[in-house]
Amino acid sequence: MKYVYQPAANKDAYTLLLLHGTGGDEQDMLPLAPALTRNFHVLSLRGNVLEHGMPRFFRRLGMGVFDEPDVHFRTHEMVHFLKELSAQEGFDLQKLVAAGYSNGANIAGAVLMLYPELLAGAMLFRPMQPLHGIEDPFETNRQQPVFMSSGKMDSTVDPAATAAYATLLSANGFNVSSHNINTGHNLTQQDIDLAAGWVKENFR
């Protein structure tokens, strides 16, 4: 996978894993990093799937309809890549905090469901539940914090589905902080401010 890695001064720092939305790339989310935290390593990935020339992290069958077998495949592929990259770049895989927007939030959510012990935390901006009826129940004992923000006027994501998704994550051991803000699908300064406060509270 194509990526950008920016090491922090402290080699033992957490790593902020940036995951773009449809049509973004490994540069897309980088400006968000200093607004969220200035003390983390930064790792930004580009999705391996193209939809009409636009990078994504997994295929979809239609708007809001995911190709779930591909979600499985691409999630395993990404986690395998992260494990190799942690050895190569020298960051601690147990101190990985994802920040994903839209499609990026959904691949991060798939990691929470398929590898529930992997991430130290996750910020999910405009998420949708990526998998339904997965073969095995998932559960974490780490009680990792998860930040979720949805838009009240988002025509892409059903607020009731987001609430059910938050409940599902909470029921499986994640410490979910969910926000429903007065906007659409676009990312706003309020999202960033809320997430930055969440980072400060959970990763001192």
Residues serving a catalytic function are 102, 154, 185
142 and 171 Cβ atoms separated by less than 8 Å:
no
Q: With b meaning 16 or more CB within 10 Å and e meaning fewer, what string describes 102-140? A: bbbbbbbbbbbbbbbebbbbbbbbbbbbbbeeeeeebeb
Q: Write out the H or E segment, with its range, that includes residue 145.
A: strand 145-151
Crossing angle, helix 68-89 and helix 103-114, to 10 degrees? 80
- The length of the chain is 204
Per-residue pLDDT of the chain (204 residues; tens, 9 = 90+): 999 999 999 999 999 999 999 999 999 999 999 999 999 999 999 999 999 999 999 998 888 789 999 999 999 999 999 999 999 999 999 999 999 999 999 999 999 999 999 999 999 999 999 999 765 668 899 999 999 999 999 998 988 899 999 999 999 999 999 999 999 999 999 999 999 999 999 997
Q: How far is CA 85 from CA 28, 66, 68, 81, 175, in A?
A: 20, 27, 25, 6, 27
